[in-house]
Structure 1
Amino acid sequence: MRYMIIIKAIQDSEAGVIPDEDLLARMAAYHEALAKAGVLLDGSSLRSSSSGWRVRYAGDKRTVIDGPFTESKELIAGYTLIQVRNREEAEEWVRRFPKPALDSDEVEIEVRRLLEREGIEDLQTVNHPRT
């Protein structure tokens, strides 16, 4: 099972502030532990939304909207992608994730399981029961 650990943006990450050396070292150690355990697939920080864009779909029309975007709580500052045996193992790893911002009391990460090929059939059965 693959899970994405999604690090939510904060004001500092959107401003392009580089985390201090302590946080960078703790993040590096965490990712090294994931790699040594053989569960790390990928991980990276993202640039602020000012360097990004969105595409809005309205029927067949597509509109490109340049960043920055104002709602930083809805933005992603980085991610880590892991592959583990089950949800419990994913939770064990995520609980060890370093707090992404030392100077902020409220920081949130989100964890989502990737939709695998076999999961699509299960999802279709749940959402669209066959008659």
Structure 2
Amino acid sequence: MRFMIIIKATSESEQGCMPGPALMAEMARYHEELARAGVLLDGSGLKPSAQGWRVRYGADGRTVTDGPFTETKELIAGYTLIQVRTREEALEWTRRFPNPRGEGLDAEIEVRQLFEMEDFAGVDGVEQFSELQARHG
């Protein structure tokens, strides 16, 4: 089972402020623990939305809007992707996730399970995704 730990954006992360050395060290230790346990798949921070864009789909086609985007509560600042045996194991790992803003400050992470190919059994077109995943891991 794969789970994504989503770190919510803040006004600081949207301004491009980097975490301090103590928080970076704490995050590094946590990710090292995940790696030693064999559950870490990936993890990274995202640059501010000012350096991104959105593509909106509509009846008239697609439109591209450059960032920044004002509603930080809708944005993510980073993620960690883990693979574990159970939901409970994922919950235990996420309870240990360091406060992304630093201890004592308000922050929030969100955890979402990823779909697996077997979740789409019987859905037309899923064979192409399965083949792609087999070729590219």
1: distance between equivalents of 2:70 and 2:92?
A: 33
Structure 1, gaps ≥5 residues long: 124-131
TM-score (structure 2 length as normaliser)? 0.85
2: distance between equivalents of 1:99 and 1:11?
A: 16
Q: In the alignment, which residue of structure 1 is the partner of 2:8?
A: 8
After TM superposition, give the deviation of residue 119 of structure 1 in Å.
1.6
Query: What is the CA RMSD across the aligned residues, in angstroms?
Result: 1.7
Q: In the alignment, which residue of structure 2 is the partner of 1:24?
A: 24
After TM superposition, give the deviation of residue 120 of structure 1 in Å.
2.3
Q: In the alignment, which residue of structure 2 is the partner of 1:39?
A: 39
CA deviation string 1:12-68 (max 9, x = no partner): 000000110000000000000000000000000000000000000002500000000
> Percent of pairs identical after alignment?
64
Structure 1 residue identity aligned to 2:35: A
Task: Look up the SS of the partner of 1:97 in the other structure.
Answer: coil
Q: In the alignment, which residue of structure 2 is the partner of 1:51?
A: 51
Is 1:66 matched with 2:66? yes
Is 1:119 matched with 2:119? yes
Greater than 4 Å deviation, 4+ residue runs: none
1:70/1:122 Cα in 2 relative to 1: closer, same or farther (>3 Å)? Answer: farther
Structure 2 residue identity aligned to 1:19: P
1: distance between equivalents of 2:61 and 2:104?
A: 40
